[in-house]
């Protein structure tokens, strides 16, 4: 058969001489990866520079106000043509044409994503990132940020919602840990491929289990009320209950252990990984049962903390803490500053931290003290 052309939604690609099956091996050297290398940042420079101009103009309008002339400048920035050099030559696009912009990004790297959100003032904010598909886990991974507009809605920096195969789904966002991961590897192993590999191994074996979207309330409370041990205990319990522990035991490396000291400070998970290497099969099999007991114990401690009565509202009435938290999730940072000065809240948080510390000690010790 001749060298026919195969058309996709966004790209027109020549069929390889030996056929698709001769070049595609499902991830390790597939046809996409054999395209000529493109410097992503150099190729994306026109888009990123334009996004920075757009953000600067938007922030000036939000902070200082403006006239119709300023809105015209914003429109011009959105409409200006951009030339992006990809694998198959230059592509012209603009910020106001998301389809053409996506085609240009795919021509640079098939793992590039861009996302546009509308703020309450109707102005756009952008997120441009690079992802890594994880076919084995619940979430795919964001491994590198190229642009994150000020004000882009990220309630939890660990997660971002992106379009995937026509649906908006959660991705695990490891990009904010990329520079720290590079520092862990050191100068000898800090190439982009090595950093990608470390982040993928951490995402695949640890964070797929340790992070989950249904943790967001607990993590939000832990962050704003400075409950360090409680946050660590949540992530540790999820890792124990959802992770493939036997597979994880064989995936542990010195770089992975060092990551949880130098890059993402999580002594509970580091201790758990160190102990996991020394456990036999029977003890590993029993860990989820022990984790379920401790999960229930920590959940009851969290409920008692949220049940603490506090003075709140214009009438200065005593109401449970959970009502204040649930009613102010979007402004919890400001509310928590006031609540942290309440002796009742301080005492409740201290009790929760002590319980979380005890949970960590029992589980990170391999559950040896549990019956």
240 and 171 in one domain? no
- CA proximity to 130, closest of 58, 215, 48: 48
Cα 345 from chain centroid (whole Å): 30
- The last residue of one of the domains, among 210, 228, 254, is 210
Q: Which residue is associated with the tokens 């056929």?
A: 19
170 and 235, same domain (yes or no): no
Contacts of 23 (CB under 8 A, 6+ apart): 16, 30, 31, 34
What is the per-residue pLDDT for 305? 94
Domain-located, residue 94: no
**Pair (153, 198) in one structural domain:** yes
Residue 76 lies in a domain: no
Domain boundary among 147, 179, 210: 210
Does some domain include residue 108?
Answer: no
Task: Give a yes or no: residue 317 inside a domain.
Answer: yes
| Residue 178 and residue 251 share a domain | no
pTM comes to: 0.81
User: Are 164 and 265 members of one domain?
Assistant: no
Is the same domain home to 169 and 226?
no
The CB-side HSE value for 255 (13 A sphere, CA atoms) comes to: 19
| DSSP codes of every residue in 326-370 | HHTGGGHHHHHHHHTT-HHHHHHHHHHHHHHHHHHHHHHTTTTT-
Q: What is Dmax (Cα atoms) for the chain?
A: 82
Nearest to 254, CA basis, from 243, 262, 265: 262
232 and 346, same domain (yes or no): yes
pLDDT at 33: 52
Same domain, 321 and 230: yes
* Domain C-terminal end among 148, 175, 210: 210
Residue 22: the pLDDT is 37
188 lies in the same domain as 245: no
Based on the domain organization, do 257 and 307 belong to the same domain? Answer: yes
- Judge whether 62 and 121 are in contact, CB under 8 Å: yes
pLDDT at 189: 63
What is the predicted pLDDT for the residue at 371?
37
Mean pLDDT by 10 residues, the chain (371 residues): 40 44 41 64 92 93 86 91 88 90 89 90 92 87 94 89 84 94 81 90 94 91 94 96 91 94 94 90 89 95 94 84 90 90 94 96 67 37
* Model pLDDT, residue 202: 94
Clarify whether residues 185 and 292 are in a common domain. Answer: no
Least Cα distance to 198 among 244, 263, 271 occurs for 263
Euclidean distance between CA atoms 141 and 38, whole angstroms: 21
β-partners of residue 311 are 318
Number of domains observed in the structure of the chain: 3
Strand-by-strand arrangement of the 159-164 sheet = 112-118, 124-132, 141-148, 167-173, 159-164
**Is residue 350 in some structural domain?**
yes
247 within some domain: yes
**136 and 252 share a domain?**
no
Domain membership of residue 167 as a residue range: 118-210
pLDDT value, residue 369 = 41
Residue 71 domain-assigned?
A: no
Q: What is the pLDDT of residue 364?
A: 87
Query: Distance from first CA to last CA of the chain, Å, rounded?
Result: 68
């Amino acid at each position: 058969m001749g060298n026919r052309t195969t058309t996709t939604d966004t790209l027109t690609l020549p069929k390889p001489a030996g056929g698709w099956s001769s070049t595609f091996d499902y991830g390790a050297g597939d046809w996409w990866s054999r395209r000529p290398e493109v410097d992503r940042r150099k190729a994306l420079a026109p888009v990123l520079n334009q996004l920075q101009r757009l953000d600067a103009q938007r922030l000036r309008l939000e902070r200082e106000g403006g006239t119709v002339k300023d809105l015209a400048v914003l429109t011009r920035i959105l409409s200006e043509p951009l030339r992006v050099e990809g694998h198959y030559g230059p592509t012209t696009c603009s910020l106001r044409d998301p389809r053409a912009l996506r085609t240009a990004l795919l021509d640079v790297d098939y793992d590039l994503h861009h996302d546009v959100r509308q703020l309450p003032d109707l102005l756009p904010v952008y997120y441009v990132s690079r992802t890594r598909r994880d076919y084995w886990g619940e979430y795919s991974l964001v491994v590198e940020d190229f642009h994150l507009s000020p004000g882009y809605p990220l309630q939890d920096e660990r997660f971002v919602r992106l379009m995937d195969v026509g649906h908006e789904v959660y991705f695990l966002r490891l990009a904010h840990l990329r520079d720290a991961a590079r520092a862990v590897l050191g100068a000898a192993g800090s190439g982009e491929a090595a950093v990608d590999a470390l982040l993928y191994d951490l995402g695949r074996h640890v964070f797929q289990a340790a992070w989950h979207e249904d943790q967001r309330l607990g993590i939000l409370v832990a962050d704003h009320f400075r409950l360090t041990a409680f946050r660590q205990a949540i992530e540790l319990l999820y890792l124990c209950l959802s992770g493939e522990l036997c597979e994880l035991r064989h995936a542990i490396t010195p770089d992975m252990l060092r990551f949880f000291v130098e890059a993402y400070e999580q002594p509970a998970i580091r201790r758990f990984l160190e102990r996991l290497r020394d456990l036999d099969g029977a003890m590993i099999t029993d860990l989820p049962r022990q984790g379920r007991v401790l999960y229930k114990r920590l959940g009851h401690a969290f409920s008692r903390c949220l049940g603490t009565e506090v003075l709140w509202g214009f009438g200065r009435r005593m109401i449970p803490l959970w009502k204040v938290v649930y009613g102010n999730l979007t402004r919890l940072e400001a509310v928590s500053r006031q609540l942290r000065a309440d002796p009742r809240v301080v005492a409740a948080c201290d009790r929760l931290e002590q319980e979380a510390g005890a949970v960590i000690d029992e589980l990170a010790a391999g559950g040896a003290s549990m019956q």
